[in-house]
Structure formats: C-alpha cells, structure tokens
Amino acid sequence: MSVDPLHGLEDELRVALEKIAATSDLSALESLRVGYLGRRGLMNARFAGLGQMSPEGRSFAGDKLNEAKRRLEHALTVQIEAVTVPTAEIDATLPGRHLEPGHLHPLTTFSRRILSIWRSLGYDVHDGPELESAFFNFDGLNVPPDHPARDVQDTFFVTGPDDLVLRTHASTVQLRWATTHRRQPPFRVVEVGKVYRHEATDATHESMFFQCDGVLVDRHVSMAHLITTLKTFINRLYPDRKVRIRPSFFPFVEPGIELDLWWEVPGREGRWLEILGAGLVHPHVIRAMGLKPTEWQGFAFGMGLDRLAMIEFGLPDIRLLYRGRLDVLRQF
C-alpha cells in the first residue's frame, strides 16, 4: 500500500458498499465487516499510515478515513437489519384493531360524587397522609394506650425510628385541619382516602378500604345539627331510603351514634347495613386541636365508601371492587 492513506480510498469504498448492498447472507456480511473494519481490516491498515504523514496532512486524511468508516458501518447496519427483519406485508384494506376505551374505577367516580355533595353543603376537602403518627391516629383522638384498636391484631404498625402506623381511619382529618394546617374555627372539612385494618375479609369487610370522614367545629353545636346534616347527606345520595340511628361508642366522640341503611340485593333478603359512625367531638379532641371546649364544640362522622358503593352498584361482595376483574369493571 502507498504511504498515502487516502490512495485509492474512493474506489475501495465504492466497491465495498456495492458488495455490502449485494450480500443477503448474515455470515457473509460478518466476513465483510471483519475484512473492512476488523482489527486487521483494510480501514485499520489505512489508519496506521497516518503516523507517517505531516501534522497538516494527518488531520485532513483522518477526517476522510473517519467519514469512510462511518459510511461502511451505516451500510452494514442497514443491510443486516434488512436481511434479519423481513418486511411485513400490510393489507391496507383490513379494518383497524378496536381499542377499548378505559374509564375511571367505580370507587373513583363514587368518591367524587360523595365529595360533590359535601362541597354543596359548604365543606372543604382535605387530603391527609396514609402513613400516620400514633398521635394523629390514636392519642390526639382520645384512643387510650390499652384500647384494642392499638393491638397488632388490628393495626398495621410500621417498623422505624418513629411511631408510625397505616392509618386505621380518616378521622385524622379532625386534628390535621386544625393543627397541621392551622385552620381556626368555625370550619367544616371532609376527607376521602384509603385506610387499613388488620382484619379478616368477607363480603362486607376488607383490610384496605376507603373512608369519608368529616368534622365541623363551631359554637353551640348540638346533636340535632349532626343528625340533620347526616340525613340531608343521605337524602341527597339516596332519596327516600330507609335509615335508622342508634347509640354507639367511639373514643373521639361523646355521645356517639351509628347510622344504618336498609340494604337490598336481588335474590337476597334485605337487611340493615351499618354505613357510618358519628357523634359530638369529645372535649379531649377539642383540646388536642388547641381549642377550648368551653368555647368550641363540633361533630364528626366517618363512613365506609365501599359499603355505600355496594348499595350504589348492587354488589353482593365488597371484594369485587379490588380484584381487578374486567368482567366486573366493564359493567360500570
């Protein structure tokens, strides 16, 4: 070979590109790659001649050789793809594939409907964390240390330096709104979110479910205000449904009540279904908000949206909402 690395380069490149374009065998293309671009290939032999050139000529010749090498590499890549991926025959007259449109999960649409009702009643909406401290989940809500709800059989505790749990209810909104967000009364606020309980699952219970909890704090709040508010909500959600209210107990309210709704599913006997607990906010919780119970009172409520959704959609089993079965979800 001549000392000039560019001698005969154009002719050699033209011949090489023609050979590559005419080759349809992968092994033959590999042989051409090794012959032109391998360690002992023709291009490396030309690059070796750059050391014998003057600095001025070396730069010009190097650019030419690099350009030739790129053209060879590109030609080899294109040809290899052409012989390994056969061109698919497309019949443009065939109908296109039907793409089934997605939609919101029924719990999402139902939650939005619930919130729209509370907004119409003048309530703000809060979005709190699912990983909560023991203060917001228990202590600040007047749940004593020996309460069964604080056992590992009922609550998911999180290992770590802080005393954290997966919140067992969305009643944490009572404290979060007044302390974390520093909202001063009077106020009314609701929250919809996931809660977690370590319990066995059945047709009406799950270990992870959605709750809607709310609180109202003002002066001279009475049980009459609470019951009127709950009945107004239920009547807007399910007009003319039968409800009943009975006394109950929750640590963060005093007195406490539960509201049941008559539940009927085709083919099954109707029965009362507990859907929410409520009551007047306990004075200890009012103090945990940083307020004086002698000046401020309030009521709080919490309801399981999953059970309400069962009534809304006529579902016999709460677990159908979480199994991801398309045959069920496509119905909504």
* 3-class SS letters over the chain: CCCCCCCCHHHHHHHHHHHHHHCCCHHHHHHHHHHHHCCCCHHHHHHHHHHHCCHHHHHHHHHHHHHHHHHHHHHHHHHHHHHHCCCCCCCCCCCCCCCCCCCCCHHHHHHHHHHHHHHHCCCEEECCCCEEEHHHHCHHHCCCCCCHHHCCCCCCEECCCCCEEECCCHHHHHHHHHHHCCCCCCEEEEEEEEEECCCCCECCECCEEEEEEEEEEECCCCHHHHHHHHHHHHHHHCCCCCEEEEEEEECCEEEEEEEEEEECCCCCCCEEEEEEEEEEECHHHHHHCCCCCCCCEEEEEEEEHHHHHHHHHCCCCHHHHCCCCHHHHCCC
Instruction: Assign domain 106-329 to a CATH class.
Output: alpha beta
Q: What's the confidence (pLDDT) of residue 88?
A: 61
pLDDT single digits (tens) 147-205: 776 775 578 888 876 788 899 889 888 898 888 888 889 999 999 999 998 877 887 77
Q: What's the confidence (pLDDT) of residue 65?
A: 84
Using a cut of 0.75, tell me whether the model's pTM lies above it: no
Lowest mean pLDDT among 71-75, 262-266, 280-284: 262-266
Instruction: State how far the Cα of 241 lies from the Cα of 234, in Å rounded to an integer.
Output: 8
pLDDT single digits (tens) 221-250: 999 999 999 999 999 998 888 899 999 999
Contact 210, 145 (CB under 8 A): no
CA-based torsion, 305, 306, 312, 313: positive or negative: positive
